Structure 1
Amino acid sequence: MKQLKTLLVDDEYSAIEGLAIRLEAFSQIEVVGYARNVTEALALISKTEPDLIFLDIEMPGQSGFELIKQLQPETCPAIIFVTAFHQYAVQAFEVRALDYLLKPVKKERLAEAIARVAVNLDIGSSKQHMLEVADIIQTGDAAGLADTAPAYRIEQEKLVIQDGHHPAQLIPYREIVWIDAAGDYMCVHTSTETFVMRARMKSLINDVLPDGFLRIHKSTIVNLQYVVKLEPLMNSEYNLVLTNQKSLKVSRTYSRQLKLSLCGIRSD
């Protein structure tokens, strides 16, 4: 495979430097430039015509998403977001980034992301897919977006996320701490990473996840093994605290079942 002309965009020089050092281990990557903001990035994209951009999200002035808006879908490079914040994962997924890496980036995840780019560019699907999604967003064709979205299935003791273009991601159920929703998308959180999938909360809890997972809110599922305490609020609502100190709200609708389930776990 030919080398991928690659641009690094991040407002923190140390982040650019660290990523550039890690990328030296990948012979298929040719770093052709660095940018600290959207204006610099646009100038470099015009000059170098990169195949791939590692893109930060929160930057002074304009964000990484605003950079993508200024690119033509038919000529848009493959995008891998690199950020310290998991909450943008759904939005990144909607613009069809090929991957979403959380800082600090692990070598194994970086290798996986680059492999995805290689597969997509080899079959010529990445830029075409960006163009298709742009058309869907402009026309409001929700059914068209659903046709391109990832699916999920059960395989032994792992949740498998497969979108038809990328290699499958296999996440052991025991490593899933909680899952939260944004529309038809789910963010699946382990103690170290966040994965994004297209699914409905009801389908996950009824048809996919094993015993030990419980819905605590219309948009949240938790793995009960990671719950350390409940803090009462008003109106029969609670804050649930996980082993990683993450606090999640328990709505009144689900509070009774949660308490019964926790009592069952504690008595085992």
Structure 2
Amino acid sequence: MKAIIIDDEKRARHLLSNLIIEHCRSITDIKEAADLKTGVDLIKSEKPDIVFLDIEMPNQSGLEILEYFSGQIDFKIIFVTAYNQYAIEAFKLSAIDYLLKPVDITELKEAVTKAKEAIEANNLSQQLSKLRDSLKQLSIDKIALEIPKGILFASHNDIVYFEADGMYTNVQLAEGKQKTICKPLKHFVEQLSKNAMFFKCHRSYFINLKYVEELVKDDGDYLLMSNQKRIPISKSKRDQFLIVVKETFL
């Protein structure tokens, strides 16, 4: 079998390649690519049986491979990831194969064996649709945040608020981390328009009502969030806010 490793880290590519050579004798030809675009070109020219695809790459997430292959594909994808827990959850739901970094030899051998069986059974046509369906299912209560190292799937419940920053948006997470996303606030307001727990209290803020501790009427109204952040609420939004709170919590 032929394999292609797509990973922006040279050391990671070489390490995985060496593990494959030593422990997966059914793979006799291995090629490498340092980014998704180069990897896709290599896939089209080399026609591999298996593609080991890193998720977290600087310019494009490995998950974006779906954009290059809209129809049936004739190679097995094994995703490789260091930490993307929500992506892992998606793969488990759809039976998509993945390996955690650092790669475990036993798991590598099992993944390659499964891939070989799927190839021999000509059972590759559904893997892209399965992954799409799985990510769509996760999107019901998770939102995709495009970060520099890939895509972070954040649960709606873990988002405290969105804050506009020009054409960017700062996303404050419950665990205390903040992510800056290359999307305007409007993008998230539209995406979460059907979620009653999110409320646009100000032109620069889109909040999760779950994390509001108090409406303070002092020197201009503001909302005190659970992390003690003071978020202004527009006069035009205050009455609407009280109605939403009554309908949601009372």
Work out which of the two has the higher radius of gyration on C-alpha atoms and give 1 or 2. Answer: 2
Structure with bigger RCO (C-alpha 8 Å, 6+ apart): 2
TM superposition score normalised by structure 2: 0.49
